[in-house]
């Protein structure tokens, strides 16, 4: 086995363990495992290249966008002590800070969003933020239980036009998002509350996998 493969083997095993744990807790999510793995690889590659994850959604999905960011911007299931050059530059601050992955929910920006809703066509607010902040090589994760949320669809269109990668979390049907996402995780449910209940274990698993990848 090549040296790089030897180094990556424990991480691959940990990734598989998280997937298996997800299936044990939620057997119905077994059909999502390949897509969770694909989303992990996509986000891993984006973060390795120093790029940013942007997330958008509405209602409960907006809360999920904030929740995902919360798991990635600080320690989730393990400690993330700083080390190396960054810790040296931060000096005594380093012992009070934690490793993080660059992730921004587009559900914030209160002043911009309220001004946009007052002055412009409301469905384009996320697309405006992608245009303003996104850079080629970043990734946009859209969350919509139906897969048809127009503001999320417009944001995904903007992302693709500007060279961002795209991923999505939806319900079983996938909706119009299916044509706009490189990777789409479809929770096996149709009613909005049931889809939302399944989204949380899916993205928690994904966050655990990313944390083990970057902060093992």
Tens digit of each residue's pLDDT (9 = 90 or more) over 99-121? 999 999 999 999 999 999 999 99
The continuous run of DSSP H or E covering 105 comes out as strand 103-105
pLDDT digits over 145-173, tens only? 999 999 999 999 999 999 999 999 999 99
Residue 180: CATH number of its domain? 3.40.50.10490
Q: Structure pTM?
A: 0.92
CA distance 190 to 67: 22
- Going by C-alpha positions, the residue among 174, 209, 215 that lies closest to residue 42 is 209
Residue 12: per-residue pLDDT: 60
Q: What total of structural domains would you count in the chain?
A: 1
CB 167 within 8 Å of CB 203: no
* Beta-bridge mates of residue 103: 53
Residue 16: per-residue pLDDT: 85
Residue range of the domain that includes 79? 3-215
Residue 13: per-residue pLDDT: 59
Residue 90: per-residue pLDDT: 98
Give exposure, 31-56, as e/b (b: 16+ Cβ within 10 Å): ebbebbbebbebbbebbeeebbbbbb
User: Which two structure tokens, joined as six digits, stand for 115?
Assistant: 């001004």
Low-confidence ranges of the chain (pLDDT < 70): 1-15
Residue 1: per-residue pLDDT: 43
User: Which two structure tokens, joined as six digits, stand for 81?
Assistant: 């002590």
């Amino acid at each position: 086995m090549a040296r790089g493969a030897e180094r990556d083997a424990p991480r691959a095993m940990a990734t598989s363990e998280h997937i298996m744990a997800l299936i044990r807790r939620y057997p119905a999510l077994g059909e999502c495992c390949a897509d969770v793995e694909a989303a992990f690889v996509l986000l891993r590659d984006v973060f390795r290249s120093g790029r940013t994850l942007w997330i958008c959604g509405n209602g409960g999905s907006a809360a999920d966008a904030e929740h995902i960011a919360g798991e990635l911007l600080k320690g989730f299931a393990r400690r993330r002590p700083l080390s190396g050059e960054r810790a040296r530059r931060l000096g005594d601050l380093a012992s009070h800070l934690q490793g993080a992955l660059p992730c921004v929910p587009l559900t914030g920006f209160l002043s911009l969003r309220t001004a946009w809703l007052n002055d412009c066509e409301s469905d384009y607010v996320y697309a405006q933020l992608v245009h303003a902040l996104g850079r080629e090589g970043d990734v946009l994760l859209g969350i919509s239980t139906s897969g048809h949320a127009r503001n999320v669809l417009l944001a995904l269109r903007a992302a693709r036009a500007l060279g961002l990668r795209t991923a999505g979390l939806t319900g079983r049907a996938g909706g119009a998002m299916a044509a706009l996402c490189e990777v789409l995780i479809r929770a096996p449910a149709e009613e909005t509350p049931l889809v939302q209940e399944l989204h949380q274990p899916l993205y928690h698993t994904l966050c655990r996998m990313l944390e083990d990848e970057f902060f093992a």
